[in-house]
Amino acid sequence: MAILSVIIAPDPRLKVKSDPVERVDAALRKLMDDMLETMYDAPGVGLSAIQVGVPKRVIVVDGARPDEERAPHRLVNPELLWTSGETVVIDEGCLSFPDLYAEVERPAAITVRYRDEHNEVRELDADGLLARCIQHEMDHLEGVLFIEYLSAVRRNIILRKLSKVRKAKERKSA
């Protein structure tokens, strides 16, 4: 396994709509294993393939609490079959937005259909952190970032701050 480099916002690649996967093969399994290793190393609770520069409909998530055993999920071509009418507001983060957390409102529970790492079609009912992670990562497959749920004013402040941080880093490494 390998730790992959995660794309940091703002970056046009994060706005790309990802393509469906035709078949889950050994190369894709390796990508998902590497994505999980990268996610755990960060540490994070979810990662989409586009965040490591691969525009395929692939996400990995783990909704386990820190005191619980790891519960990795690999989801290929995920589709929401159902979302609860009830919504919840949760503080979200994203590995492409280091140190940024923002409250986002989304459905509390979902049912998702996907292909697993063995190319089998599965359905999963999720609530709590797992439901939240899956919805956040599925947005990445559409090129949608969680800051888009914030007000335009708040979003612009965050984006300006991020590009300042990046420019400072570039100057340092130049």
Residue numbers of the site for Ni ion (CB under 5 A)? Answer: 94
**Nearer to Ni ion among residue 94 and residue 104 (C-beta):** 94
CB of 136 to Ni ion, least distance (A): 6
Q: Are 93 and 100 in contact (CB under 8 A)?
A: yes
Identify the CA nearest to 58 among candidates 85, 76, 40, 81.
76
Question: How does DSSP assign 38-86, residue by residue?
Answer: HHHHTT-SEEEGGGGT--BSEEEE----TTSPP--EEEEEEEEEEE-S-
Q: Is 117 a catalytic residue?
A: no
Q: Which amino acid is at 42?
A: A
Q: Which amino acid is at 123?
A: E
**Nearer to Ni ion among residue 28 and residue 44 (C-beta):** 44
Identified catalytic residue from 79, 103, 137, 148: 137
CB of 97 to Ni ion, least distance (A): 7
CB of 51 to Ni ion, least distance (A): 6
Q: Are 24 and 118 in contact (CB under 8 A)?
A: yes
Q: Which residues are catalytic?
A: 137
